[in-house]
């Protein structure tokens, strides 16, 4: 993949680059309608593919929050047409890397030295490049290291990038103005944290230490604060395969289950014991060993779960609660699925919708062993997502639904479920990793 020798940093430069992409997208629509007029038929899928390629090319050159938002949308298979999810998902594993001179400048500005002055060896080419930063391989005193370097200007452009992509997100993701504005502050906060490498370093060490002691078959890098800064994180290099590479080895069901169990326990230990969670569960953040172990290589996106949000949300998982109408409505209001001022029409629309969402997401918690290879279960999830996406009454709603704090929590679980489905894993739903009030609970 060709390297970038420069990156737009100022608001004007970044906006100008994206405006140019908007012109291309407009041209794609004109071509689409012209073909439709002349031939009587034009593939909507081709339009989506043309737009997705042009938008991704622009975002991958801009890096930062704009590209990260595309990555987030690609993880939700019900948010975008398939052409967008396929192309935007490239940012989970790779994006065009920055050239070595730009990396040297970051080191000089951040650590006061060049990479070769800090390490014994340092690769000029990136081993991995994503939305916020890229990773280079280094050695020091015989130890192989991974050095993550943040792209120039990324931390300073979060607000302007999110404002820039607003029309795009509303258009292709089919979200309303109220939904976009309601959740964007939450997205903004997480992205600001994700560009704070000192915070990431602290959380990486704390969470990995806690998980090592409580969850089997996980491995984590050692982190090196003295070789890190606000723009650089240095850690051990972890060996392992990315998900697609791992699945290509045709692993046994036993190994698939072992990995699936580690991932399930990893997420649920954090949620139910630490009350915070690694909220970026795309496959690029994990490495898989042929022995069934899982390496975790990125703690940039962490969602801290407020106590009241945790209590109100997971009480909906208690068997019988959704059959107790008064209790269900009370919890729906506390979770901001419903509001006291809703009309009867709105209640008739949203009560069954959120009841179905909770039934789907909570289903694995209610069984001793859950088979994530169950295509019927995932077929219901995707079909329900399509139903919401195409429901005009939902899109016309002027009130955003759901606490903003649930955005990353739901994203974490559906992202986890998707990886477990790819693995075709059967997972034990251990009491150790469930809310205490789910055990031996009733709706009363």
Q: Kindly give the confidence (pLDDT) of every residue in the chain, 444 residues in length, as a single tens digit, with 9 standing for 90 and above.
A: 566 655 656 566 666 666 555 545 556 555 555 555 555 555 566 666 776 676 666 666 666 566 666 656 555 545 555 655 665 655 555 566 878 998 999 999 999 999 999 999 999 999 987 778 889 999 999 999 999 999 888 887 787 777 777 766 666 666 667 667 777 778 888 888 889 999 999 999 999 999 999 999 999 999 999 999 999 999 999 999 999 999 999 999 999 999 999 999 999 999 999 999 998 878 888 999 999 999 998 888 899 999 999 999 999 999 899 999 999 999 999 999 999 999 999 999 999 999 999 999 999 998 899 999 999 998 888 888 778 777 778 777 777 788 989 988 988 998 899 999 999 999 999 766 777 666 655 444
Question: At a CB cut-off of 8 Å and minimum separation 6, what does 308 contact?
Answer: 334
Q: How many residues does the chain have?
A: 444
With 0.75 as the threshold, say if the pTM is over it.
yes
Q: Are the C-beta atoms of residues 294 and 256 closer than 8 Å to each other?
A: no
Would you list the domain boundaries of the chain?
11-93+157-193, 240-444
Distance CA 168, CA 70 (A): 10
Alpha-carbon span 219 to 241, nearest angstrom = 13
Listing from the earlier edge strand, what are the strands of the sheet with 294-296?
Answer: 218-219, 294-296, 286-288
CA dist., res. 335 & res. 354, Å (int): 10
Cα-Cα-Cα-Cα dihedral of 168, 169, 173, 175, to 10°?
-120
Which residue in 293, 260, 308 sits closest to 419, CA to CA? 260
Q: Please give the Cα distance from 30 to 21 (Å, whole number).
A: 14
Kindly calculate the radius of gyration of the chain based on its CA atoms and give it in whole angstroms: 23
DSSP state for residue 287 in the 8-state scheme:
E
Looking at the DSSP bridge assignments, the partners of residue 235 are 146, 223
- 269-284: buried (b, 16+ CB within 10 Å) or exposed (e) per residue? bbbbebebbbbbbbbb
Q: Could you tell me the two tokens for 317?
A: 């998982």
Q: What is the phi/psi pair of residue 230, to 5°?
A: -70, -15
Count of CB atoms situated within 10 Å of the CB of 120: 12
For residue 183, give Cα distances in angstroms to 262, 277, 346.
30, 18, 20
Closest by CA to 50, choosing from 66, 33, 67, is 33
Work out whether the CA dihedral 98, 282, 184, 231 comes out positive or negative.
negative
Rounded CA-CA distance 273/268 in Å is 8
The answer to whether the beta carbons of residues 31 and 60 sit under 8 Å apart is no
């Amino acid at each position: 993949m060709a390297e970038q020798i420069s990156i737009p940093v100022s608001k004007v430069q970044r906006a100008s680059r994206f405006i140019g992409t908007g012109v291309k997208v407009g041209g794609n629509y004109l071509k689409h309608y012209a073909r439709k007029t002349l031939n009587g038929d034009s593939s909507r899928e081709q339009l989506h593919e043309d737009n997705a390629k042009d938008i991704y090319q622009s975002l991958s050159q801009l890096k930062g929050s704009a590209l990260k938002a595309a990555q987030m949308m690609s993880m939700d298979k019900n948010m975008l047409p398939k052409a967008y999810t396929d192309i935007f998902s490239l940012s989970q594993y790779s994006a065009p890397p920055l050239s070595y001179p730009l990396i040297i400048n970051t080191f000089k500005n951040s650590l006061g030295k060049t990479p070769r002055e800090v390490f014994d060896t340092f690769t000029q080419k990136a081993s991995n490049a994503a939305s916020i930063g890229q990773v280079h391989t280094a050695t020091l005193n015989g130890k192989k290291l991974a050095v993550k370097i943040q792209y120039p200007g990324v931390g300073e452009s979060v607000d302007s990038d999110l404002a820039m992509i607003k029309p795009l997100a509303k258009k292709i993701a089919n979200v309303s103005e109220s939904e976009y504005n309601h959740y964007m502050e939450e997205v903004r906060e997480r992205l600001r944290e994700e560009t704070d490498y000192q915070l990431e370093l602290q959380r990486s060490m704390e969470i990995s230490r806690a998980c090592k002691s409580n969850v089997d078959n996980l491995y984590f890098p050692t982190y090196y604060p003295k070789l890190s800064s606000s723009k650089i994180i240095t850690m051990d290099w972890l060996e392992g395969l990315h998900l697609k590479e791992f699945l290509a080895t045709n692993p046994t069901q036993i190994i698939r289950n072992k990995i699936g169990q580690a991932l399930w326990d990893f997420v649920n230990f954090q949620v139910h014991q630490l009350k915070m969670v690694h909220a970026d569960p795309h496959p690029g953040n994990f490495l898989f060993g042929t022995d069934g172990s899982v390496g975790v290589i990125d703690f940039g996106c962490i969602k801290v779960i407020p106590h009241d949000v945790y209590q109100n949300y997971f009480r909906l998982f208690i068997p019988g609660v959704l059959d107790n109408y008064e209790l269900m409505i009370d919890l729906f209001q506390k979770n901001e699925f419903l509001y006291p001022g809703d009309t009867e029409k709105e209640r008739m629309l949203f009560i069954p919708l959120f009841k179905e969402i909770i039934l789907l997401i909570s289903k694995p918690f209610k069984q001793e062993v859950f088979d994530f290879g169950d295509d019927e279960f995932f077929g219901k999830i995707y079909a329900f997502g399509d139903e919401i996406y195409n429901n005009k009454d939902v899109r016309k709603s002027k009130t955003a639904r759901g606490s903003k704090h649930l955005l990353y929590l739901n994203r974490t679980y559906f992202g986890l479920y998707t990886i477990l489905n790819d693995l075709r894993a059967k997972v034990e739903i251990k009491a150790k990793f469930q809310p205490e009030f789910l055990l031996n609970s009733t709706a009363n």
